[in-house]
Amino acid sequence: MSKLGTLGHKLHRGEVSYDFVGKRKIWYGISILITIVAIVGLAVNGLKEGIEFSGGAVFNTPKTTMSVSDVQNKISGDTGGHDATVQKLGNGGVRIQVSGLSTDASKQSQQQIAQSLNMPKDKIDAEIVGPSWGKEISQKAFEGLIIFLVLVVVYLAIAFEWRMAVAALVALLHDLTITVGVYALVGFEVTPGTVIGLLTILGYSLYDTVVVFDGLKEASKDITKQSKFTYSDVANRSLNSTLVRSINTTVVALLPVAALLFIGGGILGAGMLNDIALALFVGLTAGAYSSIFIATPIVAEFKEREPRMKALRKRVLAKRAADAAKGEQGEPEDAVIDDADGIDGDEPEDGATAAAGVVGQRTQGAAAGTRPARNQPPGRGSRGSRNRPSGKRR
């Protein structure tokens, strides 16, 4: 955890940076691939509508020791050829849901189910659900979704700019498509809980995106007055400064949702929790991904097409090229001396001549078996020390 905190501080200060914006084509390709898989799954499998949307009957039994699989096997021929969904209730009873069952057929199924489970008919509660109620819910939800998207686009266009509004809308549609596609691939029923989950994830999906956009707006306020960073550079720095925060908020939000989905629905068998939990889990994950890899790179790509941002990019690249050339020319070249006459016949400078003389003296001394004379520092009585203070007090 301390390493994660240190990484967060480094990202915020700009000491560590990941090039999310520069590698946007990779993220676009991954998102397109995932979206295509979701659309294909939706086209092939379709959405499995719950009883609230398709209509049918619900039978609730009293407390029983039979398991879900036992009940499923015993009533397999009592539902008039329709698929039945069996769920264990908290009071020990069983909920049997049969979609597409008419009123007359439900009465006959109730009697057959009671006989198959060895229960009195009057102990099994039957409830008929008409499809009109589910259609009304779906229509209202669709209307609410359209109103929500329009308000979001208007707000972001006013608070930020239209490019950020378009990027946020693309990210939202990306998250909704992936969530619906996962529902089709997994085969979970679409219930009112699913609709609630889909509408809920829209707010979570926008949260991280708006946080990044706010920092980007502040950082790019006077961006054209400098020649050090392009708009993509500033966008990438803003994204890195809020990266750990986005990850932390997403993980904290996913923990209770994962508990509902995997523990409540998977281990404990509360299947009714799966509808809303799966929508929230997939939507939160897709929202965190889109805010980092989709929304901000799209804004940077839109902004880089503006004439003033194109001019800024030219200035920045020209300045970087000039600095690189200046750095190469400013590096001191070490003089390599092979002999007293210099290199390739060139006459060495005074300093090089003196160095060559010293090297020659040492070489000759080594050949004669004697040590070369050392250059002693000037003594106290020498010329170099006449003007030096002796350090004695007068």
Q: Which of 2, 83, 14 is nearest to 243 (CA)?
A: 14
Please report the pLDDT score of residue 11 as a whole number.
59
What CATH topology corresponds to 56-129?
Alpha-Beta Plaits (3.30.70)
Amino acid occupying residue 44: V
Q: Which of 92, 55, 97 is nearest to 72 (CA)?
A: 97
pLDDT digits (tens, 9 = 90+) for 136-165: 777 887 888 888 888 888 988 898 889 999
Cα(86)–Cα(98) distance, integer angstroms: 9
pLDDT over threshold 60, residue 335:
no
Amino acid occupying residue 318: A
Amino acid occupying residue 164: M
Residue 86: band (very low, low, confident or very high) from pLDDT cuts 50, 70, 90: confident
pLDDT digits (tens, 9 = 90+) for 88-104: 776 778 888 887 777 77
Please report the pLDDT score of residue 358 as a whole number.
37
What percent of the chain has a predicted confidence (pLDDT) above 90?
A: 11
Q: Which CATH architecture has domain 21-49+133-318?
A: Up-down Bundle (1.20)
User: What are the backbone angles phi and psi of residue 245, rounded to the nearest 5°?
Assistant: -60, -45
Q: What is the mean pLDDT of residues 8-21?
A: 68
Q: Where are the domains of the chain?
A: 21-49+133-318, 56-129
Cα(141)–Cα(195) distance, integer angstroms: 7
Residue 271: band (very low, low, confident or very high) from pLDDT cuts 50, 70, 90: low
Q: Identify which has the larger pLDDT, 390 or 251.
A: 251
pLDDT over threshold 80, residue 391:
no
Q: What is the mean pLDDT of residues 113-137?
A: 79
User: What are the backbone angles phi and psi of residue 94, rounded to the nearest 5°?
Assistant: -130, 140
What percent of the chain has a predicted confidence (pLDDT) above 70?
A: 75
pLDDT digits (tens, 9 = 90+) for 347-387: 434 433 333 343 344 334 433 444 444 444 444 444 444 44
For every residue of 162-212, DSSP letters joined together read: HHHHHHHHHHHHHHHHHHHHHHHHHT-EE-HHHHHHHHHHHHHHHHHHHHH
62 CA to centre of own chain: 47
Give the three-state DSSP class for 252. helix
